[in-house]
Chain A
Amino acid sequence: MPVKYVLLFVETEQFERDFDALSPADRERAVGLVYKWMADHADKIRGGSKLQPASTATTVRLDAGAEAVITDGPFVEGKEVVSGYTEVEADDLDQVLKMVSTWPGCPLVEIRPILEMPPAAA
């Protein structure tokens, strides 16, 4: 039985700087490689999205008192931010590792198995 995983794509400041420094043609080529990777692994990919930059994030904190605290930015201010996610389905972790080893985009990818919930009682 296949297992579902989410790939969390993580960008670094350095990666962002390097990407911004590319010429338009090189940038297009880089994006093309990502699309090609997605197409190559279409049999395993079940969905996902690229996210808007971390500067557009809003975080709501619910454990800081009676009222929710709303702040600008991602939940951890760091040099590494989640920039997108893909849901995949594979037989095992090694299949996913093999697939991720050729990922042409951002420099970090976190692989997390999805917790399969029992169907909700009707």
Chain B
Amino acid sequence: MTGTLQAHGTADREASDRELERLVREHTGRLASALVRITGDFATAEDLVQDAVLAALRRWPVEGVPDRPDAWLFTVARNRGLDALRRQSNYRDKLPQVRWPVADSGDDRLQLIFICCHPALSRSAQIALTLRVVCGLTTAQIARAFLVAESTVAQRITRAKRKITEARIPYRVPDPEELGGRVREVLAVIYLLLNEGYLATADRAQSRDLVEDAEWLSAQLHDLMPAEPEVAGLLALIRLHRARADARFDPDGYLVLLEHQDRASWDHEAIADASRLLQRAARRHQPGPYQLQAAIVACHAEAADWDSTDWEQIVLLYDMLLHLAPSPLTRLHRSIALRYTAGPEAALSEVEALAAALDRHHLCHATRADLLRAIGRGGEAQAADRRALELTTNPAEQALLRQRIDWSDDAR
């Protein structure tokens, strides 16, 4: 095995950080599930994985990427792990298993995802654990991506692992009757990664692309559970976003609204693939929030231009989404579509009905501003835009709102 572990060529030395991250992610989950099986202890395995990841990120850029990154990671983890195993009484039985390659089954990877996203853990712990153990992020990378202190992330991980051990959270694939709820839990974690990554702007461009992790995770999950339509729905949703990601910002880093995006720069092949994935899921006739959101995004992605958007269909999909998952924010999004089917006045009265529930939400005020402007109430529109500006902390959205306020100043 040592032969395969030798680092090779200088070409690999130039492997960018992104490529390194991708390589590490490709192998971390398998390493983690193999180690849990061997050590019989999730917390120990998690430590060993993190050590191996840190060693890889430190040494690969200098020594080159090994021919067999998976075997390399395993060897690092094994050397540390042997110490842990020696403290266990049944060490002799387990030692022969510490050999590469270890058998890999889909169930192993599923168990790993399900324990990280166990509903008895807090959402922030689920996210941190999943990113560390399944995607191979370091604590520092997680902290940077979520703009929190590294010690906060470390503490979340420590607490979560302690709870897994003390409260005996099992390492297993949930039974069929609990599976639905447990899959929803995993999807919620991935969806949060998508949102967090989607909202990240230029100032976070140097940190981890969480949307890529979200896509990778849902692709894994889809691979392991091809019959779950909501998993396919979330994967399609993420791919539809990624296919258009480049058009969201102009060369100066300003946010470009959908209406003004250059649709030629969208990845139309990826859009078509994602739409097919969604259609296959829809054939199971088990609609869910992720499939519906993906269907709404697909309506936008498939429209040749803004004017040919199928707003009737979009409003209908929002109605279905609201039926399954009522939320004032979804109603707000529906009202944006309503403007093009029922007119700005109808949309405005819908937004105003939501004002109390969404008073702290910048999008509510920005939408109201848009609609007010459309019916010639410019003064009120500007006040609403200013309120929106006060409420958003996202720099790209702030820039967009400032621009809009400046324009309406000029227009007067």
**Which A residues have a C-beta under 8 Å from some C-beta of B?**
3, 5, 91-94, 97-98, 111, 113
Contact = CB atoms under 8 A, between A and B. Distances in A.
B143 to A, nearest CB: 28
A56 to B, nearest CB: 31
B178 A3 contact: no
Given A97-B120, A98-B178, A92 B169 contact: yes
A92 B115 CA distance: 12
A98 B172 CA distance: 14
A111 B167 CA distance: 9
10 contacts: A3-B167, A5-B167, A91-B170, A92-B170, A93-B120, A93-B170, A94-B174, A94-B178, A97-B120, A113-B167
B166 interface: yes
B98 to A, nearest CB: 24
A47 to B, nearest CB: 20
Nearest to A116: B166
Contacts of B178: 94, 98
Contacts of A94: 169-170, 172, 174, 178
B92 interface: no
A98 B178 CA distance: 9
Chain B interface size, as a band, is: under 10
A94 B167 CA distance: 10
B174 A93 contact: no
B168 interface: yes
A97 B172 CA distance: 14
Chain A's interface: helix, strand, loop or mixed, by majority?
A: mixed
A15 B48 CA distance: 47
Contacts of A113: 166-168
Interface of B: 120, 166-170, 172, 174, 178
A48 to B, nearest CB: 18
Contacts of B120: 93, 97
A93 B168 CA distance: 6
B167 A93 contact: yes
Contacts of B169: 92-94
A87 B56 CA distance: 46
Nearest to B174: A94
Contacts of B168: 3, 91-93, 113
Nearest to A2: B168
Contacts of B172: 94
B302 to A, nearest CB: 42
A94 B119 CA distance: 10
A65 to B, nearest CB: 33
A25 to B, nearest CB: 32
Contacts of B166: 113
A113 B170 CA distance: 14
Contacts of A98: 178
Q: Which of A3, A91, A94, A98 has the most CB atoms of chain B within a 10 A radius of its CB?
A: A94
A94 B170 CA distance: 7
Contacts of B170: 91-94
Given A92-B168, A94-B170, A94-B172, 15 more contacts: A3-B167, A5-B167, A91-B168, A91-B170, A92-B169, A92-B170, A93-B120, A93-B168, A93-B169, A93-B170, A94-B169, A94-B174, A97-B120, A111-B167, A113-B167
